[in-house]
Structure 1
Amino acid sequence: MSSEHITRIRKGRTVEVVSLIYNIIEVVVSLTAGFATGSSALVSWGVDSIVEANSAAFMIWRLRGEEQGKSERELRKRKKITLSVLSGAFTVAVAFILYEAISKLISQDTASMSWWGIGILLVSLVVNPLLAWGKYYYGKKTDSPTLKYDAIDTMICEYQTIVVLIGIGLVQWQGWWWADPIAALLIVPYVAWEAYESGRDAYHVELDPDDREEADA
């Protein structure tokens, strides 16, 4: 492995470190504001940020292994573990978001205003595309599908941010109490798809692909 390739891997890992730190900030602010104001959309967005933070943490672990020159089998093992953990985390997030949103629809509770919540959403509108670009750029430079896959996840989070902002806006300025839990429910299909895709990809990661090829032959 060339020194230039290692440098690019290290830079990709740095982007993931920044992503992890920022996602932790998202989690703290959005969950605190969401529970304080009764906003299902903010809470659901915060739960998804927990999953994004886990994604960044496991990507750091995997890229660190590649940087250290771990064996191909070890790298495949780390990839399989990373994708499996993500699939499980996404599945739990789907269940929680459904529970939170449906409960609010039944009780018809109206979420109150939170400038902290709106503030972190607006900041994320700018930060997420920058993080996604960094992940995709170094994923392409290092030929890392998982980095590019994580970049797509970050852009999905950008979509979710827009949805939550619209939901909160409709509640506050139009008085549509149901817009907040509906915004949360709109997040579900994307999180569920991420759960399916990461689980499917984990299943297809072969620790010893040569053995599988010999068996098929």
Structure 2
Amino acid sequence: MELNSIIHQHYERSGKRKKNLKTAKKIQEYNVGYDIIEVGVSLFAGFTSGSSALIGWGLDSVVEVVSASTLWWRLKGELGDIEEERVKKREKITLYVIATSFLLVSIFITYDSVTKFINKEVPDWSTLGVIILLVSLVVNPILIWYKYRYGKKLDSQELIADSKDTFVCLYQTIAVLAGLLAVRYLEWWWADPVAALLIVPYALKESWGAFKNGRKVSA
């Protein structure tokens, strides 16, 4: 009886994990779909208006697409019952992809913002940019909550790291929106590049955190 009980508990836990993995994978699919829209709209709005903050925010959304897609690949692997060693390898790759993407975005944002700050370039108003920012203020908190919740359920460091990535994007959304409004209504020409630069410390912090977690994974 005791052996049967152990076997039953094992299959129950295994079935529950599979269910959580499927939900987490579905969340990543929704995340990728929305972020692709976010990238297209924000980069178009950023380049047409000359806003460093919108461009930087759009590039961070590119990181989210890469991060969510790589994490989807890792979850799909575990759902496909691949060997634990390969799952760990995918986990390590996912964290390194997140770390590298954040670092590259930080470098570009710094260069673009400092250049526009020195040249005193004033961005044009972008209604489209403001709309996508407002939509993201609603969507991102929902994604953060689900990612973090299932990251805890699955004991997944990379899913938790991805939720922090989305939290950084939420912070950026507020900063970028504030910058655009300050340029428009207060005529603070410097608010746009400063809003963009506020993204960098958080991006670098998350880059380093993902890199350290990647090194801890044994593959």
With normalisation by structure 2, the TM-score equals: 0.91
- 1:43-192 matches, cutoff 5 A: 43-192=55-204
- 105-114 or 139-148, which moves further after superposition? 139-148
1:31 matched residue in structure 2: 43
**Secondary structure of residue in 1 paired with 2:198:** helix
1:198 is the counterpart of 2:199: no
Distance 1:102 1:139 in 2: 36
- 149-158 or 23-32, which moves further after superposition? 149-158
Distance 2:200 2:144 in 1: 21
Distance 1:5 1:178 in 2: 49
1:158 counterpart letter in structure 2 = L
Q: Deviations over 1:137-169 (max 9, x none)?
A: 222222222222211221121111000000001
1:89 counterpart letter in structure 2 = S
Match 2:53 to one of 30, 41, 51: 41
Q: For structure 2, which runs of at least 5 residues remain unmatched after alignment?
A: 1-10
1:9 is the counterpart of 2:21: yes
Distance 1:150 1:91 in 2: 15
Does the CA contact (< 8 Å) of 2:94 and 2:158 recur in 1?
no
Distance 1:111 1:152 in 2: 29
Distance 1:23 1:166 in 2: 21
1:22 is the counterpart of 2:24: no
**Secondary structure of residue in 1 paired with 2:185:** helix
1:212 matched residue in structure 2: none
**Secondary structure of residue in 1 paired with 2:92:** helix
How much is the aligned-residue C-alpha RMSD, in angstroms?
A: 1.1
Q: Deviations over 1:164-194 (max 9, x none)?
A: 0000010000000000000000000001111
Distance 1:197 1:30 in 2: 26
Distance 1:180 1:74 in 2: 44
Does the CA contact (< 8 Å) of 2:99 and 2:211 recur in 1?
yes
| Shift >6 Å, 4+ stretches | none
Distance 2:175 2:102 in 1: 18
**Secondary structure of residue in 2 paired with 1:175:** coil
Q: For structure 1, which runs of at least 5 residues remain unmatched after alignment?
A: 208-217
2:126 counterpart letter in structure 1 = S
Among the aligned pairs, what percent are the same residue? 46
